[in-house]
Amino acid sequence: MGLNNDHSTIGGGFCNVMYNDACGSFIGGGCCNLVDVTNCISSIVGGFKNTFSVYSHCSFIGGGTLNDMSCACSSTIVGGASNCIGASFSSIAGGKFNQICGLYSFIGSGCENCITNFCGTGSAGYYCVNAGVIAGGLRNYINHCITSSAAYNSGIFGGNAIGGGICNYVGMTISGSYQSSGYTTISGGYCNTAGLKNGGPDELRVQGITIGGGYSNCAVGNFLTIGGGFCNCVAGDYSTIGGGSYNTAICNSSTVGGGQCNKSCNDSSTVSGGVFNTASGCNSSILGGRCNVASAEGSAVLAGFYNCACACYSVASGAGAFSYLYGQSSSFSGYNVFGGISPVIAQSSKITAWGNGSLNSTTIRQILLYLDGDGSRAGSTIIPNGSNRAWNVTVNWIAAVKSLGVGTTGGLAVGDVITGTDAFFFKKVAGVSSISSINPLDLNSDASMSSATITYNVGASEDLQILFTAPTTAGNGTTAPTRTYFRVMATIQLTEVNW
């Protein structure tokens, strides 16, 4: 019993030692237990070679073997072997070789589990709060560390948890400015990682991540979820992988529901399931199937295999369908007569062209229809893909008067319409397009719109042009507000084949 140990007690046992400045401390029994210098009001109930090293006031070791506390005020080790706490207000219930170096943390049991919390010297404006939990398992690791090279205002929020499993990792080594990590959970599994082991770029946030379980899953970013599975990877913010294997969701608000080897790699993209599907366009989606691609903004593949929706807002389904025009919806059976998947030798599809315009009866009488309304978007001209392709084309069209211009005659009124259905073929051979004669299947109109027409031409880009010409009685204003305003829409059915 050392000096300044007022109100301290060694109740029994063998070779138990209490050094100086351990006032109010207690060793109940056991063998070779030690309360080192400057450990007031701390207790070792029993066990073998348990130690309070320094500055572990008001702490408790119940029993076990080779358990140690250092600089751990108000902390507890209930039992186990070779467990260590180096932070205040923390607890280890049992197990072996478990270690806590973070405030307000807890390890329930298991072996070689670790919760760290280190703030390097020389960093400006850093702060660390741990509050980590490892319920059990083997070699699970919650890392809260700021290195000595970390720049201004680095920080760690804490609140991370690992339920169990083996070799799971939560946290991040903070090595740059304005970084943070916290509020992350791995429920269990093997070798799952939520965070970054070796730091990352400035302003990186790794927080709000949940991994339900599985094997070798990885998540880096904010508010991410992996339900389970094998070798899934999610990054960015607000993204989710439900399960499966080798799936990737690597942009903001991207989702993979499950399956295998699926990729959701643009903002707000989704792959619901299947195998080897890739949604790489912003706001794109694939419901399922195999080897499908949705590569443009707002594109979608409904199901099947080897389908590609590669134009904005296009849709593909079946097997081997290829939607290459803006807003195109295509389908194909997928097998050719020689067997196997066809390289898009034939398919059926639908597109919609439209336009708005303020016209008059002399100088500005025509509206050219585009798939996006004005021709400003990629794929909005109506042109066959490749050099050798033919379309059987059916066009259902309508034009309506929205407003009247100055000098309108002939009884033309707002709401007057003309509708028609035309059929023809359009083909592109060796890069040169041509159009057949037009077969008008139907034509109906108000009397005032009878002189309006729709014509079809080959454009300078070898594209199909659909041109609306206003009736001769439209108002003859010289400025847009004084002209007659029309809206024109055409639904185009294509049956196509290539060679």
In the predicted model, is pLDDT for residue 129 greater than 70?
A: no
Confidence class of residue 236 from pLDDT cuts 50, 70 and 90?
confident
Specify the pLDDT at position 484.
85
Looking at residue 188, what DSSP letter applies? S
Query: Does residue 308 sit within a domain?
Result: no
Strands (E) across 47-168 are located at: 51-52, 60-61, 68-69, 76-77, 84-85, 91-92, 99-100, 106-107, 114-119, 127-128, 133-134, 141-146, 155-156, 161-162
∠370-373-378 over CA atoms, to 5°? Answer: 65
- pLDDT band for position 120 (cuts 50, 70, 90): low
Least Cα distance to 267 among 312, 237, 311, 303 occurs for 237
Distance CA 395, CA 375 (A): 19
18, part of any domain: yes
The pLDDT value recorded for residue 195 is 84
Residue 448 lies in a domain: yes
Helix (H/G/I), strand (E/B), else coil: 358: strand
State the chain's maximal CA–CA distance in angstroms.
117
Cβ atoms of residues 262 and 280 within 8 Å: no
Q: Which of 97, 123, 146 corresponds to the end of one domain?
A: 97
User: Quick one: 89 and 127 in the same domain?
Assistant: no
Residues 477 and 360 in one domain: yes
Q: For residues 445 and 354, state if they share a domain.
A: yes
Structure tokens, 432: 């040169």
Q: What is the CATH number of the domain that holds 178?
A: 2.150.10
Q: Can you give the pLDDT at residue 38?
A: 82
Is 451 part of any domain?
A: yes
Alpha-carbon dihedral sign for residues 404, 409, 414, 418: negative
pLDDT (0 to 100) of residue 153: 45
Q: Residue 350: in which H helix or E strand, if any?
A: strand 346-359
Query: How does pLDDT run across 366-395, given as a tens digit for each residue?
Result: 899 999 999 998 889 999 998 899 999 999
**Percentage of the chain with pLDDT > 70?**
86
Q: Which pair of tokens denotes residue 462?
A: 């070898």
Residue 29's pLDDT is what? Answer: 93
- Could you please report the per-residue DSSP string of 388-448? SEEEEEEEEEEEEEEE--TT--TT--TT-EEEEEEEEEEEEETTEEEE---EEEEEEE-GG
In a domain, 170, yes or no: yes
Please give the residue that has the higher pLDDT: either 324 or 201: 324
Coil vs helix vs strand at 332: strand
Mean pLDDT of 310-323: 93
Residue 77 sits in the same domain as residue 190: no
**What percent of the chain stands above pLDDT 90?**
64
**Residue 485 and residue 407 in one domain:** yes
400-427 average pLDDT score? 90
Residue given tokens 């051979």 in the structure block:
429
Higher pLDDT, 354 or 22: 354
Chosen domain end from 214, 245, 276: 245
Whole-number Å distance between alpha carbons of 54 and 40: 10
DSSP annotation of 476: B
Q: Are 322 and 310 in contact (CB under 8 A)?
A: yes
Query: 374 and 493, same structural domain?
Result: yes
What pLDDT, on a 0 to 100 scale, did the predictor assign at position 361? 60
Identify the pLDDT of residue 339.
45
- Confidence band (pLDDT; 50, 70, 90) for 482? confident
CB contact burial 166-178 (16+ within 10 A = b; e otherwise)? bbbbbbbbbbbbe
Please count the helices (runs of H) and the strands (runs of E) in the chain. Answer: 0, 50
The pLDDT confidence band at residue 19, using thresholds 50, 70 and 90, is confident
What is the band of 65 on the pLDDT scale with cuts at 50, 70, 90? Answer: very high
Lowest mean pLDDT among 148-162, 179-193, 205-219, 266-280: 148-162
49 shares a domain with 1 = yes
Is residue 462 included in any domain, yes or no?
Answer: yes
| Domain boundaries, position 355 | 347-498
Residue that finishes a domain, picked among 190, 224, 245: 245
Angle at 243 between CA 161 and CA 223, to 5 degrees: 45
Q: Do the Cβ atoms of 301 and 289 come closer than 8 Å?
A: yes
Please tell me whether residues 81 and 128 are part of one structural domain: no
How does the average pLDDT of the chain come out, rounded? 87
Q: Specify the pLDDT at position 7.
A: 77
Q: Hey, CA dihedral for 197, 200, 202, 204, is it positive or negative?
A: negative
Tell me the sheet residues that pair with 31: 14, 48
Q: Evaluate if residue 335 carries a pLDDT over 60.
A: no
Number of structural domains, the chain?
A: 3
Local confidence band at 340 (pLDDT 50, 70, 90 cut-offs): very low
Tokens standing for residue 430? 């060796």
- 15 shares its domain with 137: no
Q: Is the pLDDT of residue 419 over 90?
A: yes
In this prediction, residue 396 carries a pLDDT of 98
Tokens for 313? Answer: 């807002």
* 3-class state of residue 480 by DSSP: helix
Specify if 339 maps to a domain: no
DSSP letter assigned to residue 326: T
Shared domain check, 138 and 60: no
Residues 485, 427: one domain? yes
- pLDDT surpasses 50 at 181: yes
Q: Is residue 376 part of a domain?
A: yes
The secondary structure of 7-65 as a DSSP string is: T-EE-S-BS-EE-SS-TT-EE-S-BS-EE-SS-TT-EE-S-BS-EE-SS-TT-EE-S-B
**Higher pLDDT residue, 486 or 20?**
486
Q: Are residues 75 and 188 in the same domain?
A: no
Tell me the three state secondary structure of residue 235: strand
Tokens of 498: 């290539």
Give the pLDDT score at 157: 64
pTM of this prediction? 0.87
